Amino acid sequence: MKRLGRPAKPLSSNKAGHPLGELALIDLIRQRAGKATNREIRLSIGDDCAILRPRAGEEIVVTTDLCLEGRHFRRDWHSPASVGHRTLARGLSDLAAMGARPVAAFLSLALPKEVAANPTWLNGFLDGLLNLAARAKVSLAGGDTSQAPGAEVLADIVLLGAVPTGRALRRSGARPGDRLFCTGTLGGAAAELRLLQNNVIANAKKPKPPAKTLAENPHPQLFPEPRLAPGLALVRRGLATAAMDLSDGLSTDLGHLCEASHLSAEIRLPDLPLHPLAAALGPATALDLALNGGEDYELLFAADPGQRIPPTLAGVRVTEIGRLMKQRPGQPRITAIAADGAQSELTSGGWEHLR
Ligand code: ADP
Ligand code: MG
């Protein structure tokens, strides 16, 4: 394709602050990504295409996610490492929701001239992305790089995962009477976003990406933890009838699961597991953020009532939060049950992009 950047130059000769040029940027990414570690990847960054060879008995699942500055992150709130982490985490969370094992990631980046001018931001971005990639055992196997037309960073991630043939977890498999569960805690990502907004967490303090999976994620907004191991455990142990990840908020995402499975749902509000950052904002706000905040990237899944569900999956806490029922005409799709037993209709208050 036609290159918009300047011709490639060695990084060392770029002290004048000229945009590095597409080739030099790709070279930097390629060096930092290193050799692909997944055996399925026969050819990685460097040719026109990557070559993958799936294992026998597995299907490939594919997902793509856009991360746009100003919509999904802000460079004054999210450190470069946070943006890199979040870009990959969004795609990995979709793989987790299908119960897939990550195989390869493809990153398309559009960088404004001033960001491409010196590799500091990109190196920070790659710190976050590659740290999570190493933990998730996924290889960066290709992508595309260009100068952005405007002043905003655009990052698109494509993730390929593998799942035993016919075993991927879908949204559509739930049945009436199934119990509903979620992993981890809810509301934390939105609560931490408020702290960033109000400058309680200064970007300058540079919270670090986690070195390993923690029981309680201290930075659910900056460094969300895709639930890959719990997703794999659900498939391996055949525990779930349906699953999805919670990216837009429970009130919106549960609606999607209900729709796909042609069911309605009941949620017991006192049972929702709240992240401590959300709980600290008081019960009403915490509940609002847990239902509508979004970006928690926990798993929501349904299980047959006869199926025993362990209290943790791969070390991550699992909480029963409600159940699924036959859809009845005139009945709300999602009913919320309060501590005193009062019932109300739960409408989608989470994020619906492009509404
Ligand atoms: P093409 O002209 O065929 O698109 P490019 O020069 O854009 O090739 O890319 C060269 C190689 O570098 C390809 O293997 C491509 O997948 C890889 N690549 C380009 N940009 C990125 C990126 N942002 N992240 C990872 N790999 C990249
Ligand atoms: Mg290209």
Structure confidence by residue, pLDDT tens digits, 225-241: 999 999 999 999 999 99
Rounded Cα–Cα distance for residues 43 and 84 (Å): 23
How confident is residue 206, by pLDDT bands cut at 50, 70 and 90?
A: low
Mean pLDDT value of segment 274-282:
97
Q: Whose CA is closest to 293, among 354, 246, 260?
A: 246
Q: What is the mean pLDDT of the chain?
A: 91
In this prediction, residue 132 carries a pLDDT of 97
* In contact, 154 and 148? CB cutoff 8 Å: yes
The pLDDT of residue 14 is above 50: no
Question: How far away, in angstroms, is 105 Cα from ligand 2 center?
Answer: 15
Q: Whose CA is closest to 335, among 172, 186, 326?
A: 326
Structure confidence by residue, pLDDT tens digits, 144-192: 999 999 999 999 999 999 999 999 999 999 999 999 999 999 999 999 9
In this prediction, residue 214 carries a pLDDT of 64
Helical pair 80-98 and 120-136, crossing angle rounded to 10 deg: 30
Rounded Cα–Cα distance for residues 227 and 238 (Å): 16
Which ligand has its closest atom nearest to the C-alpha of 1?
A: 1
With the most atoms of ligand 1 within 8 angstroms of its CB, the residue from 2, 45, 49, 146 to mutate is 45
What single DSSP character describes residue 307?
S
Mean pLDDT value of segment 294-298:
97
The pLDDT of residue 351 is above 70: no
109 CA: nearest ligand 1 atom: 23
Ligand 1 pocket list (CB less than 6 A) = 1, 26, 29, 45-48, 107, 109, 140, 142-145
Question: How far away, in angstroms, is 144 Cα from ligand 2 center?
Answer: 4
23 CA: nearest ligand 1 atom: 6
The pLDDT of residue 245 is above 50: yes
Positive or negative: CA dihedral 277, 283, 288, 291: positive
In this prediction, residue 350 carries a pLDDT of 65
The pLDDT of residue 257 is above 80: yes
Structure confidence by residue, pLDDT tens digits, 67-103: 999 999 999 999 999 999 999 999 999 999 999 999 9
With the most atoms of ligand 1 within 8 angstroms of its CB, the residue from 144, 147, 158 to mutate is 144
22 CA: nearest ligand 1 atom: 6
Residue nearest to atom 11 of ligand 1 (CA): 46
Which ligand has its closest atom nearest to the C-alpha of 130?
A: 1
Give the list of residues 6+ apart from residue 4 with CB closer than 8 angstroms, or none: 22, 146, 147
Mean pLDDT value of segment 308-325:
98
The pLDDT of residue 353 is above 90: no
* In contact, 136 and 92? CB cutoff 8 Å: yes
Residue nearest to atom 20 of ligand 1 (CA): 144
Mean pLDDT value of segment 209-224:
83
